[in-house]
Amino acid sequence: MKVIVADQAGVCFGVKRALDLVNAECERGGPLFTLGPLIHNPQVVRDLEAKGVRVARSISEAQRAVVMPSHGVPREVLQKAEAAGLRVIDATCPFVAKVHARVRHLAARGYTVVVVGDAGHSEVKAILSAAGDDAVVISTVDEVDGRDWRGTKVGIVSQTTQTPERFGRIVGRIAERAAEVVAYNTICYATYDRQTAARNLAPNVEAMFVVGGRNSANTNRLVEICREAGVPTYHIETADEIDPRWVSGMSVVGLTAGASTPEWIIEEVRSRLERFDPPASPG
């Protein structure tokens, strides 16, 4: 079986930075906690637990030192950690932190902040906290039509893992209705590069495998993009999930991975797929 790996796949700058921070803290010794999973990849989180890094569900469960995850946290969580006397290691991705700065600026200038993203996602919750009480989340174009935008000054940002197409459609629809619109495309370049590479690869293979946590927003976007290309697409977290029947009769498949997926998992998936025999040539 021939396996083509997308030009851009796997761990991004923000995730690598977060992992480097945590590994450096591990070398210092002592208890270390992350507030929720550091990144949205269960296998990496388990590896960190084996090094003694524990996942705290709340600030009250942490001791001495706590790491804020790469997707950011609401400001009140940071304040609570500081009030508890914890040493805070902020592993928030710089691109996410830039979105926080954008929405604070927009809110201070009197704009109603709109976050284009997945309501309930941890990154979006943190952005909303920075944006103030009047901020809203819009996930689809249809949701735009359900609000009255007349006379409103609207400032729009994106969750860093959204697609440019969705962001553009929502911005355009709001611009048709609001009195004034300021929009910042805050999709991170790593997300854009991975989406573009997947979109280019998918039409040229018989199936796509997307590797990454099922709770990873950017991985789920890659799955959507590959399926929109019309090829069978399989979202997996590890090589053990591959069903040989998925590739029966196929000669070439594509492989991509979310921004929290380490290289060793990608290589395990590639190796497993390459062991499947392609169909025999006629005659």
| Residues acting as catalytic residues | 123
Please report the sign of the dihedral spanned by the C-alpha atoms of residue 171, residue 175, residue 177, residue 181.
Answer: positive
The 8-class DSSP code of residue 116 comes to E
Is the CB of residue 134 less than 8 Å from the CB of residue 108?
A: no
| Interatomic CA distance for residues 84 and 78, integer angstroms | 10
Q: E strands, the chain, where?
A: 2-5, 32-35, 53-56, 65-68, 87-90, 112-116, 136-138, 153-158, 180-183, 208-211, 233-236, 252-257
Is the CB of residue 232 less than 8 Å from the CB of residue 274?
A: no
Angle between the 75-83 and 122-131 helix axes, to the nearest 10 degrees? 90
Q: Which residues pair with 154 in a beta bridge?
A: 112, 181
| Interatomic CA distance for residues 233 and 241, integer angstroms | 13
Scored b (16 or more CB within 10 A) or e, 246-265 reads bbeebeebbbbbbbbbbeeb
Residue matched to tokens 């790593």: 190
